[in-house]
A = this chain, B = another copy of it.
């Protein structure tokens, strides 16, 4: 039953990407299954064939798809925070990513619909944040080992604060259209690390 051909997998992928694009364009709450159907040149039965759980399951797949992009868009710098130059490059990359993305955070917008209710969706965002934070903390630890950050700094706490600043900066970017908060949070966080004993 679980058998799926290459063609089927391609269709499924097309549906997810089309749904993601639709959500980016018109928002979650205005995106209907018919919109997705039209965009992806599929039929209603295909949607339910690949996502028996209906709309909720499709949204979850979209959330996973978008969550993966968030981290991969930050590579290779995020995975290699081993010098202040890397930190700065990473900072610039994050800011630029959200500048290019404009006032749209597909993941945030998906989560706010399906997020707090269903455990599956919550797991997606929790896991994303866990990995994100863990990569930052690894960077802090590496800089500590190199003597660039003082031993008094707790890597987990610093990573948590930095991540919170990023999330809030992005959120404020969505609301106000300005990137100043994101930049301020990153700059202040990094400056704090650099100046720590």
Contacts and interface: CB of A to CB of B under 8 A. Distances in A.
Interface of A: 27, 29, 103-104, 108-109, 111-113, 115-117, 122, 125-126, 129, 157-158, 160-161, 163-172, 174-176, 180-182, 184-185, 187-189, 191-192, 195
Contact of A188 (B29, B161, B167): B161
B129 A116 contact: no
A177 to B, nearest CB: 9
A167 B171 contact: yes
Nearest to A113: B29
Nearest to A109: B112
A27 B116 contact: yes
A195 B174 CA distance: 31
Contacts of A169: 164, 167-168
A168 B164 contact: yes
B158 A181 contact: no
In the A-B complex, list the 9 residue pairs whose CB atoms are closest, starting with the nearest.
A168-B168, A167-B168, A112-B112, A164-B168, A164-B185, A160-B184, A161-B188, A161-B184, A164-B181
